[in-house]
A and B are shown apart, each in its own frame.
Chain A
Amino acid sequence: MNAEITDYTAFRAALEAMDKPRCVQLARQLLEANAHDIVGLYTKILAPVLNSMTDSESGHPAAIWREHVRSGIVRTVIECCYPFVLAERAARQTTADKGKVVIVSPTDEFHELGARMGSDFFTLQGYEAIYVGANTPKAELLQGLALEKPAYVVINAVNFYNLFKIKKIVAEIKERLPGQRILASGNAFYHDPELFRQIGALAVIRTPDDIRQLEEEHA
């Protein structure tokens, strides 16, 4: 069997069993053995395993409960990867010299693992990623942006209802902080290639390649 599939299967089994120590241990082993880099671990294992499990359990009475427990486990795994993120950046001889990137989700957006993974992609790419997290009120975001003056702010949405709110937030950022570059990310955006433009963002970010492409276009 292909090694990648074996790793996926092993991690899936551990997450299925909600075995947090095992999940953390597996992820560390994969990184230590260079079986995967951070991007590979996140995009080929963590995200797809979590998504596949959410799908296969939908309708189950405890589906949401389990999804939350598993999201918590995956969050722990991601946080445990941070030393590896820094090591990988050092190995690439990259430093955080491209400026700050603030990553947030608006009020009532509680899905944040995608955004949290994305913040590590920015770190790897040479940015100082400031991950603010889920459920960030607009007033605090505006204050934070004025303070940090980031190169980019990434606004994340998984629930499509939050797009309406984000459109208003983007308009207000543009009014109060002219020149602030605003990016969109999250599942609410990916199915419709025009959405990020409609809410007023510069681009939509889904992969490390999108970050690189952004740099080429807006260098």
Chain B
Amino acid sequence: MANAIELSGINKIYGTAIQTQVLFDIDLAFEEQSFNSIIGQSGSGKSTLMNIMGTLDRPTSGTVMIGGIQTSNMTKNDLAVVRNETIGFIFQFHYLLPEFTALENVLMPYLIKHNKPTAEVRERADELMELVGRSKVKNNKATEMSGGQQQRPALARALIMTPRIILADAPPGNLDSDTTEIIYDILRQVNGQFKTTFIIITHDRKIAEKADRIVEIRDGRISLDVTRPMI
């Protein structure tokens, strides 16, 4: 299987006057269609690494390939195109735009690019709401939903552009564990159905241990990288 994302020799130094190196010579590749989690203590460099993987931030040195495409020399605009067409971000599972309905929120990434959703896209939005088990409340305004209730429509929103890769940076202690398991099951289903590659930063053991591979970051380096044994 080809690699969805391939990082080579990634270093990241923040600051100019006072420099802090937070990533050290990271080589890391994720196969297409795989389901991965990244763990590590707070401050170890996980979010920095994910921002670089998602081309939201540039490494100080090293290269990032997305779907076999070298991104180092791309312009900001070209990067934005690759990103929008390839990567879905779930930085927090909840937070819908308040003045819109759940369904409108799901359609938002499409509406930003195009004025009106096609019948096809509407149908897809409906399907996704079905998939995340929130069809019944699709016309409710975000303001009428609790943070917990917004999580699943927000997930549908991340999927509307059929990204090849989903990067998720779940903040610690954000979800209760039942919801976490439901969300996880949905992610796994999306992975199986749409062959989407998943890379999830998580502090939740229940999510991490169900991935096919777990990468631990410690002080800006990969400390252990393990794959699930086949039974």
Closest chain A residue to B37, Cβ basis: A161
Are A164 and B216 in contact, with the CB atoms below 8 A? yes
Name the distance in Å between A13's Cβ and chain B's nearest Cβ: 22
* B residues 181-229 touching A (CB-CB < 8 Å): 205, 208-209, 214, 216, 223-224, 226-229
In chain A, what residue has the closest Cβ to B39?
A164
- In the complex, which residue of chain B has the Cβ closest to the Cβ of A187? B229
B231 touches A51 (CB 8 A): yes
Q: Which of A15-37 contact B (CB under 8 A)?
A: none
Work out how many contacts link A and B, with CB atoms closer than 8 A: 38
Contact of B209 among A161, A190, A191, A192 (CB under 8 A): A161
Is the Cβ of A167 less than 8 Å from the Cβ of B231? Answer: no
Residue contact B214 to A160, C-beta cutoff 8 Å: yes
Given contacts A54-B231, A160-B227, A164-B224, 8 further A-B contacts (CB under 8 A): A55-B231, A160-B228, A161-B208, A161-B209, A188-B226, A191-B227, A198-B224, A199-B224
Tell me if A164 and B214 are in contact (CB < 8 A).
yes
Interface residues on A, range: 10 to 19
Q: Taking A167-B223, A198-B224 as contacts, is the C-beta distance between A160 and B229 under 8 angstroms?
A: yes
Q: Is B230 an interface residue (CB 8 A)?
A: yes
Q: Chain A residues near B224 (CB, 8 Å)?
A: 163-164, 167, 198-199
Chain A residues within 8 Å of B208, by CB: 161
Residues from 60 to 84 in A contacting B, C-beta threshold 8 Å: none
Chain B residues whose CB sits within 8 angstroms of the CB of A192 once the complex forms: 226-227, 229
A159 in the interface (beta carbon within 8 A): yes
B229 near A188 (CB under 8 angstroms)? yes
A58 nearest CB neighbor, chain B only? B231
Q: What's the Cα separation between A55 and B226 when bound, in Å?
A: 22
Which residue of chain A has its CB nearest to the CB of B228? A160
For A189, the closest partner residue in chain B by CB is: B229
* A51 vs B208: C-alpha distance when bound (angstroms): 24
Give Cα A187–Cα B231 distance, bound, in whole angstroms: 8
Interface centre among B39, B216, B226 (most CB of A within 10 A): B226
CA distance A167 to B218 in the complex (A): 13
A190 lies within 8 A of B216 (CB): no
Question: Would you call A195 an interface residue if the criterion is a C-beta within 8 Å of the partner chain's C-beta atoms?
Answer: yes
